[in-house]
């Protein structure tokens, strides 16, 4: 059965998944990169950016499993880029260059329509303007039985959690406090929504926490 998963989602101790003031210079917002400092040294990330070997520990294993069995992704528009409001043109093609690390169809939630964008290496960005259920339906069809990963950001993960559609959630909790930005837990009662913690694993630079939606909830 195809699952809807959040994986490798970096959060601060106080629940922030991005810092404030996202823009072209600060894709993750101010101090946002501190949330991903567990990921940057890993072999997975270093290979992604065409650099050397990278580290091969627990954090790397967690990063690796985030890409296993994924047939499609769903992103929020703010994760796709810094453009807000109507698209002024089609020049913005994502943060990741001409060959993004997805290699499967990616469904970007937005209120502003745009034709699909075919990148090198199998990634096609589809812009979905009719809501989270439609994006999920399209992603599941594209994934042909594989899992669908909600990449983020916080607003998008919150929407799918609120709708009780996320089956599994893997958070990489970083030992930092951000104080401001996009908070994953804003207005969410995870217990009432039926989520429970099933496992936690200490990595080199983050605590990896796994939650799942209880059967019947």
Ligand X SMILES: NC(=O)c1ccc[n+]([C@@H]2O[C@H](COP(=O)([O-])OP(=O)(O)OC[C@H]3O[C@@H](n4cnc5c(N)ncnc54)[C@H](OP(=O)(O)O)[C@@H]3O)[C@@H](O)[C@H]2O)c1
- Return residues touching ligand X (CB under 6 A): 9-10, 17-18, 22, 27-29, 32, 35, 76-79, 84, 109-112, 131-132, 151-156, 159, 182
Q: Considering beta carbons, is residue 17 or 142 the nearer one to ligand X?
A: 17
Q: Considering beta carbons, is residue 53 or 100 the nearer one to ligand X?
A: 100
Residue of closest CB approach to ligand X: 153
Sign for the CA dihedral angle at 189, 199, 202, 158 comes to: negative
Q: Considering beta carbons, is residue 75 or 119 the nearer one to ligand X?
A: 75
- Taking CB atoms within 8 Å and a gap of at least 24, the contacts of 140-146 are 140/2, 140/72, 142/71, 142/72, 142/104, 142/105, 142/107, 143/2, 143/70, 143/71, 143/72, 143/104, 143/105, 144/71, 145/2, 145/71, 146/2, 146/69, 146/70, 146/71, 146/72
- Residue bearing tokens 């992103």: 75
Closest contact distance (angstroms) between CB of 156 and ligand X is: 3
Closest contact distance (angstroms) between CB of 167 and ligand X is: 18
Q: Considering beta carbons, is residue 57 or 81 the nearer one to ligand X?
A: 81
Closest contact distance (angstroms) between CB of 52 and ligand X is: 23
- Residue bearing tokens 């997975």: 44
Q: Tell me the C-alpha to C-alpha distance, in Å, between residue 174 and each of 78, 114, 171, 181, 188.
A: 22, 35, 9, 15, 20
CB 106 within 8 A of CB 75: yes
Q: Considering beta carbons, is residue 18 or 142 the nearer one to ligand X?
A: 18
Closest contact distance (angstroms) between CB of 190 and ligand X is: 17
Closest contact distance (angstroms) between CB of 200 and ligand X is: 17
Q: Considering beta carbons, is residue 115 or 145 the nearer one to ligand X?
A: 115
**Joined tokens for residue 33:** 């990169």
Closest contact distance (angstroms) between CB of 69 and ligand X is: 19
């Amino acid at each position: 059965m195809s699952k809807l998963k959040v994986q490798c989602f970096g959060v601060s101790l106080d629940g922030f998944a991005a810092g404030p003031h996202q823009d072209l210079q600060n894709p993750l917002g101010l101090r946002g990169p501190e949330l991903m400092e567990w990921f940057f040294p890993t072999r997975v990330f270093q290979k992604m950016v065409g650099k050397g070997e990278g580290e091969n520990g627990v954090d790397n294993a967690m990063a690796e499993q985030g890409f296993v069995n994924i047939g499609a992704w769903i992103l929020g528009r703010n994760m796709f880029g810094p453009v807000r409001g109507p698209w002024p043109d089609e020049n913005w093609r994502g943060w990741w260059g001409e060959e993004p690390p997805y290699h499967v169809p990616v469904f970007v939630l937005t209120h502003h329509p745009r034709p699909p964008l075919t990148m090198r290496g199998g990634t096609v960005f589809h812009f979905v303007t009719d809501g989270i259920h439609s994006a999920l339906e399209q992603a599941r069809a594209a994934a042909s039985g594989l899992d669908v990963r909600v990449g983020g950001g916080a607003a998008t993960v919150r929407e799918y959690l609120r709708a009780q559609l996320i089956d599994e959630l893997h958070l990489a909790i970083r030992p930092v406090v951000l104080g401001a930005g996009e908070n994953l837990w804003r207005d969410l009662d995870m217990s009432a929504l039926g989520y429970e913690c099933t496992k936690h694993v200490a990595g080199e630079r983050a605590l990896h926490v796994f939650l799942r939606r209880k059967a019947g909830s």
